[in-house]
Homo-oligomer: A and B are copies of this chain.
Amino acid sequence: MPTYWVIELAIQDDFPILQRLVNGHRLIYLDNAATTQKPAIVIDAMNDYYTKHNANVHRAVHTLAGEATDGYEACRDALKTWFRAERCILTSGTTEAINLAAHAWGHSQLKGRPIVLTEMEHHSDIVPWQMLAETFGNELRYVPVKSDLTLDMEAFEASIEGAGLVCVVHTSNVLGVRNPIEEIIRIAHNHGAKVLLDAAQGAPHCQINMAELGADMMALSAHKMCGPTGIGCLLVNEETFQEMQPFMGGGDMIETVTLEGSTYQTNEHRFEAGTPRIAEAIGWNAALTYLGTLDLEQQHGRLLEIARHVAQELRSMGMTVYGRHDDDDSSVVSFLHPTLHSEDFAHLLDARGVAVRTGHHCAQPLLNRLGITGTVRASFYIYNTMQDAEEFLMHVRNILERFA
């Protein structure tokens, strides 16, 4: 893998945090499904904004305000282009995006119709719908996960009748499994249901083409794709956008306010009440620029290879690995040791500079299905190398020898 090796090192250089020592050891950051690190270009873009252009956006005449507005709106445009989306509403993240979908679209459009979810969903794609169902009495139908860790598509087909919406995670944050969303969208649309994709994990790992997929709504977060915290978006197709009603009220989303009532903007600003996330938008746009310089498909292949290697090695050490690592899956490796507690494992790895996550990964229904309460999760991203993986495995072996 000589070419990989060169690319890997070049990418690592772009991420200042990787210079850091943790407990005296080189940081091996394998908690990427929780949040990713930021390349210097992203950090610098926000810096540059705050040191040269900072101002409130929209409605202002002065130069800084114009620059800030351009910067903010450029992020929206870049997202639309990147994901081939018709409308892009900037939110604080995936979670707020899904809550926005539930309130702005669901409240007025679902009219009590059933909602199809899957057992693989992140809490952020469950709780907003449970809340909506509590108010409006919608039936929630959960598509089970089979023992091979894929969705039970027969059960899905059986559950679609009469449903108004299907909410499905593009790629599972626990398993790395990439769901058959093309088929799901096709079946849902055939039955008159819209589809919302939770692309929080999908977006960082592959180039999602919303227009081609025909998805109606798609939620994602910047911080999982090299962008800053505090920003995400709900991408929506035009038809769905026109059906949405205002959610939060306030500055920037209104056209006119009188004591008797208000009228609202008709573009995306309608759903972006208050001063928006300006520096964050500028940082996210820089992240897209950065990712655009990489060959994401090649990266996907490289990382999947790492994940497969790690999964195989862990299995050979007696671990249970929860994942398939099929060609389209993400490079997440969830595992458990038969006796060593997952949190103890993470603590011990941390002592060697390795960052992994443990716990339920905000996917308790999935873990219930698997009959466990948590896993250790190592998730790989563009700046991780096979070298990281080997060192991680070495520490794991070491820990097992000393502690298991």
Contacts and interface: CB of A to CB of B under 8 A. Distances in A.
Interface in A230-260: 230-231, 246, 248-254, 256-259
Contacts of A251: 95, 122-124, 362
B95 A64 contact: no
Majority secondary structure of chain A interface residues (helix, strand, loop or mixed):
mixed
Contacts of A252: 95, 362
Interface in A58-108: 59-65, 92-96, 98-99
Interface residues of A, number: 92
Given A34-B56, A124-B274, A22 B259 contact: no
A37 B56 CA distance: 10
B62 A31 contact: yes
A20 interface: yes
A262 interface: yes
A125 B65 CA distance: 23
A371 interface: no
Interface in A197-243: 221, 223, 228-231
A308 B22 CA distance: 54
Interface string A292-334: 0000000000000000000000000000000000000000000
A346 interface: yes
B250 A61 contact: no
A127 B271 CA distance: 13
A347 interface: yes
A261 interface: yes
A120 interface: no
Contact of A256 (B50, B131, B262, B364): B364
A112 interface: no
B52 A254 contact: no
Contacts of A259: 119, 140, 142, 365
Select the residue from A16, A17, A356 with max chain B CB neighbours within 10 A. A17
A98 B254 CA distance: 16
A188 interface: no
B95 A347 contact: no
B274 A92 contact: yes
A35 B54 contact: yes
A122 B22 CA distance: 47
A150 interface: no
Contacts of A180: none
Contact of A248 (B59, B63, B95, B347): B95
B22 A98 contact: no
25 contacts: A16-B50, A17-B51, A29-B64, A35-B275, A43-B51, A50-B228, A61-B357, A62-B346, A62-B349, A92-B96, A92-B277, A93-B274, A95-B250, A122-B251, A123-B250, A123-B254, A126-B262, A128-B248, A130-B261, A130-B262, A142-B259, A229-B276, A230-B231, A230-B280, A251-B362
